[in-house]
Amino acid sequence: MTQYILRRLLLMIPVAFLVTVGIFVLVRLAPGDPVLAYLGEEKDPVSIAAVRREFGLDQPLPVQYVAWLSHALRGDLGRSFHTKQPVIEAITERLPATFELGAAAILISVTLALLVGTLSAVKRNSAVDLLTSSVTLMGVSFPNFFLALLLILLFSYVVPGRIFPPGGYVPLTQDVADNLRRLVLPAVTLATASLAVNLRQVRSSLIDAFGQDYIRTARAKGLAERPVIFRHALKNALIPVVTIIGIQTGAIIEGAFITETIFFWPGVGRLAVQAIPSGDYPIVQGVVLVSALSFMLSTLVVDVLYAFLDPRISYGSARS
Amino acid sequence: MRSFARRNPRMVVGGAVVVLLLFTAAFAPFIAPYDPIKVDVARALLPPTGQHLLGTDDLGRDVLSRVMWGSRVSLSVGVISVSIGFLLGVSLGLAAGYLGGTFDLLAMRVIDALLAFPALVLAIAITAALGPQIQNAMIAIGIVAVPAYARLTRGQVLSVRAREFIVAARAIGVPPLGIVARHIFPNVTNALVVQATLGTAFAILAEAALSFLGLGPQPPYPSWGQDINYSQRYLANFKWWMSAGPGMAIFIAVFAFNFLGDALRDALDPRLRRSA
């Protein structure tokens, strides 16, 4: 097992290297001079040259890349052009809000997927199953920013009492009840797209499991249907579901880009979206790097967890 | 024809909606009832009526006409970005699978690096770097789609490369490019058609998301995502129709391509159907 993890970590190195090269090149492709963006109104050629030298922008690109990477490896992702705040600090102070939103979305998505997916698989081809399949396909096709607006409209203007406010954030440590009330709409929005994928996975894994010999044996020895489903089928069917959930965990920032923007949720996604139009490239670069690394890390954790959960997978061949 | 429809209802329904969308996009200048960018403040914020089926926006522009013109943006981004992903991904997959060795190793690491980014984050990063324009959105979504085609093609090539008909073609002196084009590629097309259809659904959704964030076509030109973003400010006044038109258009287009893609998968690729 240790050997397997080490090999997976080693395989990550060239990929991580290419990821950093990609992010570095992307930012250098961006239109406009980063020095002018950093200096703002200042147009003095001497100051421009000084800043260019200070940031190493007068060096050849490979040298700039090595310098950037060595700083990044030490946790220094530069400073925001506008607030001059260190990028890593800007990201870390917004991570708790993003994690809270992501965790709530995954909780909603997984709970509903398990309940409805199991019901759908047990009552295969029934009206419930057909309805679930249609709703699933609709969920995948519905743009989440449109759903967000509909939810805001519904809970602000149709449902009386404003149970769930249309946006804003109150830290959990400050007021738990208000934090949770404000969390509901963004979390439901973020959960919807992944719910469709999770539900589909739970249903198809369970249907696969129902066709296995051990389920037939369990039924043949007279076991009631409930333990057959929960103790035997669901337990095994959950293994592929773990993969999907793991990947979603890594992709939390992806969904947060839009959801956080609409609901004024002060997370990492909103930070990046606000930085794009103002040309604050260090922030965009930092958020993209953090989201790629967390995505890679979650894929690694999923692979290891998968090998651990399913004894049929040998560590030697588990690399996809 | 009728028996085909009875056997493949999802393909017929999905296909019909896709054809309708393509027709709307192609003939929007002729069938749209009004000019989508012409301002008419006297008719601002009218709710849906017989004259303006989807109402008007704050500048008096007809929402239905903007939705029809917006379909040109969404579908052209869908088709062009899928073509970019298809051409690059399939070429890379065919070359990696057929040539093997160092090229395969390097190509697959590049694909792994592309897969290391969440899809939408990569599309946003590329578009932000290249500048908020429709062409850049197409390039970004196209690049994001490359890994899916490359992996699919490479996998199929590896599975047929050692088969007798390939060995026979090589033995009678067919050049490598001929083998790839005439013998290997046709074996991959079914799976690729399915991927391209589902990929178009993703591309439309991604374009809408990019436009929503201001990274797509710029105002006043109509685009579904951008129009929804613009209409947000009127939700508080309950002017719901400004968002409803483009929102439903995105949903219908994405749903149709997903529906058609699922039906094609069932019809063309029994192996995928079993694993779905």
Domains of chain A in start order, with CATH, are: 87-309 (1.10.3720.10)
Task: Write out chain B residues lying below 8 Å of A150, CB-based.
Answer: 247
- Lowest mean pLDDT, pick from B34-38, B152-156, B180-184: B180-184
ipTM: 0.85
Residue B164 is predicted with a pLDDT of 87
Residue A34 confidence (pLDDT): 74
Task: Answer whether A245 touches B (CB < 8 Å).
Answer: no
Q: Is A131 left (phi over 0), alpha (psi -120 to 50) or beta?
A: alpha
Higher pLDDT, A190 or B272: A190
Cα(A252)–Cα(A249) distance, rounded to whole angstroms? 5
Helix (H, G, I), strand (E, B) or coil at B56: strand
Please choose, from the candidates A102, A136, A118, the residue with its C-alpha nearest in 3D space to the C-alpha of residue A298: A102
Contact B255 A284 (CB under 8 A): no
Contacts with B, A 112-141, CB within 8 Å: 137-138, 140-141
CB atoms within 10 A of CB A261: 21
Q: Give me the mean pLDDT over the B175-204 stretch.
A: 89
| Structure-block tokens of residue A251 | 């992709």
Measured distance CA(B192)–CA(B90) in Å, rounded: 9
pLDDT at B124 over 60: yes
- For residue A257, what is the nearest residue in chain B, using CA coordinates? B121
Question: pLDDT tens across B175-186, in order?
Answer: 888 888 888 888
Q: Distance between CA atoms of A216 and A204, rounded to whole angstroms?
A: 18
Q: Does A75 touch chain B (CB under 8 A)?
A: no
Name the amino acid, one letter, at A96. P
DSSP A61-102: HHHHHHHHHHHHHTT---B-TTT--BHHHHHHHHHHHHHHHH
Q: Are the Cβ atoms of A19 and B259 closer than 8 angstroms?
A: no
- Interface residues of chain B, partner chain A, Cβ below 8 Å: 109-110, 112-114, 116-122, 124-126, 128-131, 201, 205, 208-209, 212-215, 225, 228-229, 232, 235-236, 238, 240, 243, 247, 250-251, 254-255, 258-259, 262, 276
Taking only residues 15 to 54 of chain A, the set having a beta carbon closer than 8 angstroms to any beta carbon of chain B reads: 15-16, 18-19, 22-23, 26-27, 29-31
Nearest residue, CB atoms, A30 vs list B122, B129, B209: B129
Q: Which residue of A has its CA nearest to B113?
A: A15
What torsion, rounded to 10 degrees, do the Cα atoms A127, A130, A133, A135 define?
Answer: -60
CA A175 → CA A43, B34, B66, distances in Å?
46, 51, 44
Which token pair is A249? 């965990």
Q: Is A145's CB within 8 Å of B212's CB?
A: yes
Chain A residues touching B240 at Cβ < 8 A:
153
Cβ separation B258–A140 shorter than 8 A: yes
Q: Are A87 and A282 in contact (CB under 8 A)?
A: yes
Tokens of A166: 């249309």
Task: Report the alpha-carbon angle B95-B97-B99, nearest 5.
Answer: 60
Query: What is the token pair recorded at B47?
Result: 């709710």
Per the DSSP assignment, residues forming a β-bridge with A86 are A79
Other Cβ atoms closer than 10 A to B168: 11
- The region of weakest confidence among B4-18, B32-46, B191-205, B217-231 is B4-18
Asked if A277 and B214 count as a contact pair (C-beta separation under 8 A), the reply is yes
Q: What is the number of other CB atoms lying within 10 angstroms of the CB of residue A115?
A: 12
Q: Name the residue among B116, B225, B232 with its Cβ closest to that of A292.
A: B116
- The 10s digit of each residue's pLDDT in A189-233 is 999 878 888 888 888 888 888 888 888 898 888 888 888 888 888
Residues 6+ apart with CB under 8 A from B15: B260
Question: Token pair 């017929």 is at which residue?
Answer: B12
Cβ contact B92:B107 at 8 Å: yes
Q: What is the pTM of this model?
A: 0.89
- Return the number of CB contacts < 8 Å for A and B: 122
Identify the structural domains of chain B with CATH numbers, from first to last.
12-243 (1.10.3720.10)
The more confident residue out of B95 and A231 is B95
By 3-state DSSP, what share of chain B in percent is helix, strand and coil, each rounded to 5? 80, 0, 20
Tokens 């606000």, residue located:
A274
CA distance B227 to B225: 5
Of B121, B201, B215, the CB nearest to A253: B121
Give the whole-angstrom CA distance, residue B212 versus residue A150. Answer: 15
Are B109 and A14 within 8 A, CB to CB? yes
Task: Name the β-bridge partners of B56.
Answer: B62
- Contact status, residue B136 vs residue B80, Cβ threshold 8 Å: no
Q: Residue A185: is its pLDDT beyond 90?
A: yes
Q: What residues in B contact A167, CB-CB < 8 Å? A: none
Q: State yes or no: pLDDT of A312 exceeds 70.
A: no
| B146, B212, B231, B255: best to mutate for the A interface, most A CBs within 10 A | B212
Say which residue the tokens 């939705």 belong to. B67
Chain A residues whose CB is inside 8 A of the B259 CB are: 137
- CA nearest to B254, candidates B199, B214, B216: B199
A165: closest CA among A175, A174, A156? A156
Q: Who has greater pLDDT, B184 or B57?
A: B57
Helix locations, chain A, DSSP H: 2-29, 34-39, 45-54, 61-73, 87-122, 127-141, 144-153, 176-210, 213-220, 225-227, 234-250, 252-262, 268-275, 281-309
- On the CB side of B33, CA atoms within 13 Å amount to 12
Residues 6 or more apart whose CB falls under 8 angstroms from that of A254 comprise A269, A291, B118, B119, B120, B121
In this complex, do B117 and A18 lie within 8 Å of one another by their Cβ atoms?
Answer: no
The pLDDT, as a whole number, for residue A311 is: 67
Backbone angles phi, psi at B60, to 5 degrees: 80, 15
Q: Is the Cβ–Cβ distance between B245 and B66 less than 8 Å?
A: yes
Output DSSP code: residue B53. T
Q: Are B66 and B36 in contact (CB under 8 A)?
A: yes
Decide if pLDDT at A186 tops 80: yes
Q: Would you call B214 and A27 a contact, using CB atoms and an 8 Å cutoff?
A: no
Q: How far apart (Å, rounded) are the C-alpha atoms in residues A275 and A287?
A: 10
Q: Among residues A209, A219, A242, A223, which one has the least CA distance to residue A118?
A: A209
How does A280-289 read in b/e, with b if 16+ C-beta sit within 10 Å?
A: bbbbbbbbbb
Hey, is the C-beta of A143 within 8 angstroms of any chain B C-beta? yes
pLDDT interval class at A318 (50, 70, 90) = very low
Residue B275's pLDDT band, with cuts at 50, 70 and 90, is very low
Q: Which residues of B touch A18 (CB under 8 A)?
A: 109-110, 112-113
Nearest CA in chain A to B109: A15
Average pLDDT, chain B: 90
Cβ of B243 and A146 within 8 Å?
yes
Q: Which residues contact A19 (CB under 8 A, 6 or more apart)?
A: A289, A292, A293, A296, B113, B116, B117
B270: pLDDT strictly greater than 60:
no
